[in-house]
């Protein structure tokens, strides 16, 4: 147990000095509580909208944890934590355990602060029969996404050298979160007179079918073929960007050309049905 605690301290020391990240995390939590207060207290007690508004807060927290995990992965290279812990008996096991526990602890703390108001609201409503479902909801749609974000960030930081990891994290985050819908809504309001059909296709492949799935940042994404293809394309482009020095140009150029032709062709075929899908998304957002 002492070795695990020491491993936790070592890895935590690589994160906690990133004061700016702690400040950002605190601001995100305050924003979330305001979202809860606004929708529940000021918007006719619409708890549904309160939870829905947190979708985007959770998505931002997922990015926050990705970056924290990325810093941890990068800092290990500088601080040689792996070498220190590997000198201990079963050090690699304690090292991995410390990393996982650190992510779990941070995720639990953030989730607890984030969702305390939701739990209080349900308790005040006296709806104790739903308490189990609320806890399950928080675990699935808040705790799991930010923990997965932390692990993804660590894996990227530990394996990708240089600043290319930031680009990969952003692309992974964008492909995994529902913020593309919100981004479309903002852009569509900004560009009334511009035909953004192609942009619509790119930004609305994460639209949700069920009400519960709309809250989830990672595991609730619609797994239709269009979304799977979009995510695969993003990941392929990410890998090409990161590993372009090690890939033959004769392979890269034809591959990217095929991807571009496929995307343009698919967008053209589906351009007529896009308007209907957008209307459905907007209607569901308003409800």
pLDDT score at 106: 72
Give yes or no for a contact between 181 and 206, defined as CB atoms under 8 angstroms apart.
yes
Position 74 scores a pLDDT of 73
Residues 149 and 253 in one domain: no
* Cα dihedral sign, 129-135-141-144: negative
Confidence band, pLDDT 50/70/90 cuts, at residue 145:
confident
Q: What is the mean pLDDT of the chain?
A: 59
Q: Tens of pLDDT along 1-18?
A: 555 566 656 555 655 555
Examine the domain organization and report whether 24 and 143 are in the same domain: yes
pLDDT number for residue 154: 79
The domain tally of the chain equals 2
The reply to whether 15 and 154 lie within a common domain is yes
Last residue of a domain, one of 160, 192, 212: 160
Residue 49 has pLDDT above 60, yes or no: no
Residue 40 pLDDT more than 50? yes
Instruction: Flag whether 80 is in a domain.
Output: yes
Rounded to whole angstroms, the Cα distance separating 215 from 52 reads 6
Residue 251 has pLDDT above 50, yes or no: yes
| Structure tokens that stand for 155 in this block | 């894996």
Domain presence at residue 171: no
Same domain, 186 and 132: no
User: What's the confidence (pLDDT) of residue 287?
Assistant: 40
Q: Where are the beta strands (DSSP E) in the chain?
A: none
Nearest Cα to 256, choosing from 264, 53, 22?
264
Structural domain harbouring 147? 1-160
**Domain identity same for 188 and 126:** no
Chosen domain end from 126, 160, 194: 160
- Kindly state whether residue 273 falls inside one of the protein's structural domains: yes
Residue 258: the pLDDT is 60
Q: Give dist(CA 139, CA 220) in Å, integer.
A: 13
| 115 compared with 190, residue with greater pLDDT | 115
* Pair 122, 187 in one domain: no
Of the candidates 10, 21, 28, 105, the one whose C-alpha atom is nearest the C-alpha of residue 71 is 21
Q: What is the pLDDT of residue 245?
A: 57
Within a domain: 74: yes
Average pLDDT over residues 46-71: 68
Q: Does one domain contain both 124 and 5?
A: yes
Does residue 183 lie within any of the structural domains? yes
Q: Which residues contact 101 (CB under 8 A, 6 or more apart)?
A: 4, 8
pTM greater than 0.85: no
Which residue shows structure tokens 């140009």? 249
Inform me whether the pLDDT recorded for 182 exceeds 70: no
Looking at the predicted structure, is the pLDDT value of residue 144 above 50? yes
Residue 27 belongs to a domain: yes
**87 or 147, which is more confident:** 147
Tokens 């589906």: give the residue: 270
Are 155 and 221 found together in one domain?
no
Range of 26-35, 164-173, 274-283 with top mean pLDDT? 164-173
DSSP assignment string, 158-191: HH--TTHHHHHHHHHHHHHSTHHHHHHHHHHHH-
Between 66 and 97, the higher pLDDT residue: 66
| 51 occurs within a structural domain | yes
Please check the confidence at residue 199 and state whether its pLDDT lies above 70: no
Q: Determine the longest span between alpha carbons in the chain, in angstroms.
A: 66
Question: Is the same domain home to 23 and 128?
Answer: yes
Q: Over the range 16-26, which residues count as b (16 or more CB within 10 Å of their CB) and which as e?
A: eebeebeebbe
Q: Which of 28-42, 96-110, 239-253, 258-272 has the highest mean pLDDT?
A: 96-110
Domain boundary residue among 160, 191, 207?
Answer: 160
Same-domain check for residues 195 and 102: no
């Amino acid at each position: 147990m002492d070795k695990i605690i020491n491993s936790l301290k070592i890895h935590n020391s690589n994160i906690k000095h990133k004061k700016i990240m702690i400040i950002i995390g605190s601001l995100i939590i305050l924003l979330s509580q305001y979202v809860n207060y606004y929708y529940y207290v000021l918007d006719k007690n619409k708890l549904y909208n309160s939870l829905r508004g947190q979708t985007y807060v959770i998505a931002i927290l997922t990015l926050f944890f990705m970056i924290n995990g990325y810093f941890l992965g990068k800092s290990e290279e500088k601080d040689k934590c792996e070498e220190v812990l590997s000198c201990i008996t079963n050090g690699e096991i304690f090292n991995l355990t410390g990393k996982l526990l650190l992510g779990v602890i941070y995720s639990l703390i953030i989730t607890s602060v984030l969702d305390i108001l939701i739990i209080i609201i349900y308790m005040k409503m006296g709806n104790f029969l739903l308490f189990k479902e609320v806890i399950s909801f928080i675990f699935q749609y808040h705790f799991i996404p930010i923990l997965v974000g932390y692990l993804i960030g660590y894996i990227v930081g530990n394996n990708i050298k240089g600043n290319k990891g930031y680009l990969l994290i952003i692309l992974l985050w964008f492909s995994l979160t529902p913020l593309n819908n919100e981004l479309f809504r903002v852009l569509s309001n900004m560009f009334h007179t511009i035909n953004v059909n192609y942009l619509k296709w790119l930004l609305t492949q994460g639209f949700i079918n069920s009400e519960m799935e709309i809250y989830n940042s990672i595991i609730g994404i619609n797994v239709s073929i269009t979304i799977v293809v979009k995510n695969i394309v993003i990941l392929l482009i990410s890998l090409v960007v990161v590993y372009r020095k090690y890939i033959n140009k004769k392979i890269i150029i034809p591959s990217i050309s095929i991807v571009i032709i496929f995307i343009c062709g698919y967008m053209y075929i589906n351009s007529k049905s896009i308007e209907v899908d957008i209307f459905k998304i907007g209607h569901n957002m308003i409800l």
